[in-house]
Amino acid sequence: MSARGQTHIEEPSAAERTIARRTAEARATIPDLELSVEADVTRRFELFDVSLTALLVAACAGALRAVPRANGAYRDGRFELYSRVNVGVVLASEEAYVIPTVFDADTKSPRELTGEIAELELAARERRLAPPAFSGGTFTLWDAGTLGLSRAGIVINPPQVAALAAGVPREVATLNGSALQTIRQMTLTLACDHRMLYGAHAASFLGAVKAALESG
């Protein structure tokens, strides 16, 4: 017996093999840059009929329209820019995760997105998502707050050039003039392919997401 004790070998599932391959590919081939910003989402908690994940998708979709270079891919030394805004949403479990696509996310209301994401989550749990559900994504979002994480990084999903992770909203004390007040603040972290999405682009994108989340 080794110093580590007995060794039990487990074979990864097909999904886990795919995750391992694509993660290694992303880390080996993409020179990524990571930036974060804090967003005040206090007002958004007044919207009880929509999910926070849906609000994040809507905010990212609007930002992708505002910063078109974020809605693309770097292929063979060229920039590809896409006309459709298709947001892949990370649905994580302890076993693995899947990233189904919300197609044309910029054309849907937060309420519509709430229903669609709920259906994708149910289909993922019941293992009835077909391959077309994972195609066509132009950007990836991970609402890491659903796992209780205050801040999270994210690996870019090739050939996309950007992905965003959102932490759980937390209560923060802040000064409003001379008065102390409590707000709900969320950390947004953007990973971007620095071959195509530079710091200024990334800052503009994060600024657009932040503005959308903070608007009344």
For residue 4, the model assigns a pLDDT of 76
Q: What is the pLDDT along the chain (216 residues), one digit of tens a residue?
A: 567 777 777 777 777 787 788 888 878 778 889 999 999 998 877 777 899 999 999 999 999 999 999 999 999 899 999 999 999 999 987 677 899 999 999 999 999 999 999 999 999 988 888 888 999 999 999 999 999 999 999 999 999 999 999 999 998 888 777 778 888 999 999 999 999 999 999 999 999 999 999 985
Q: Give backbone dihedrals phi and psi of 134, rounded to 5 degrees, phi first.
A: -105, 5
Q: One of 22, 111, 194, 195 is an active-site residue; which one? A: 194
Is 201 part of the annotated catalytic residue set? no
Taken in order of first residue, the domains within the chain and their CATH numbers are: 14-214 (3.30.559.10)
DSSP 76-136: TTEEEE-SS--EEE-EE-SS-EE--EETTGGGS-HHHHHHHHHHHHHHHHTT---GGGGS-
